[in-house]
Amino acid sequence: MKTFKGSNRECLKASPLILEGFEIRTFRREDLDRVIEINTRCLPEHYSTFFYLDLYDRFPKTFLVAVVDNEIQGYIMCRIERGLSKLRALRLTRLCHVVSIAVMEAYRRRGIATALMLRAMRNAAVEYGATECFLEVRVSNEPALRLYNKLGFRKTRRIVGYYMDGEDAWEMARPIFEEDLMKGLK
């Protein structure tokens, strides 16, 4: 598989994505309360209002929400970072760091997180030139580990005591492929 080289950017402009039963669109400020509610219900890691809005101001194209029946049921937010590749030694690259993703329990196993991840990776490549995606996940978080495995991520290192409660994280990464840019386009 070829990695994204920056071709065809123009024909890949983001538009709202409507899949079976849900829509993926970019975050808006008025979505903030609902996104914070989802984060509070689904994850032990919480953030300040400033943190959400700062990510949104800097990287609006990779802050996405999933809407089902006019209500937000999932979100993803990312930070674009310049740094060393997690996959190739000593290679400086632009990385899409998935800071947080969650889907409300009643709406899981419908492909919403998969769609959020694919759309965020595509936007990270098309809008910000990212060529790699990475994240941290609790070593005990089986559903999320399975999701990332299925999306082609691999474990790049174990980070001992990464979380406030002392649990370790797996850092996981994958390249963003040219094929990914076509996924999520309808």
What residues line the site for ligand ACO (CB under 6 A)?
A: 42-43, 98, 100-103, 108-114, 135, 137, 141, 143-144, 146-147, 150
Q: What are phi and psi of 102, to 5 degrees?
A: -155, 150
Q: One symbol per residue from 109 to 138: x for binding Zn ion (CB under 5 A), - otherwise; what is it?
A: ---------------------------x--
Partner from ligand ACO, Zn ion, none binding residue 83, C-beta < 5-8 Å depending on class: none
Q: What are phi and psi of 181, to 5 degrees?
A: -70, -25
The 8-class DSSP code of residue 4 comes to: P
Name the amino acid, one letter, at 140. Answer: S
Residue 56: CB partners within 8 Å, gap ≥ 6?
A: 27, 29, 63, 77
Q: Report in angstroms how near the CB of residue 127 gets to ligand ACO at its nearest.
A: 20
Q: Report in angstroms how near the CB of residue 171 gets to Zn ion at its nearest.
A: 8
Residue 168 and residue 16: Cα distance in Å, rounded? 36
Residue 147 or 173: the one with the smaller Cβ distance to ligand ACO is: 147
Catalog residues that contact Zn ion under the rule CB under 5 A.
136
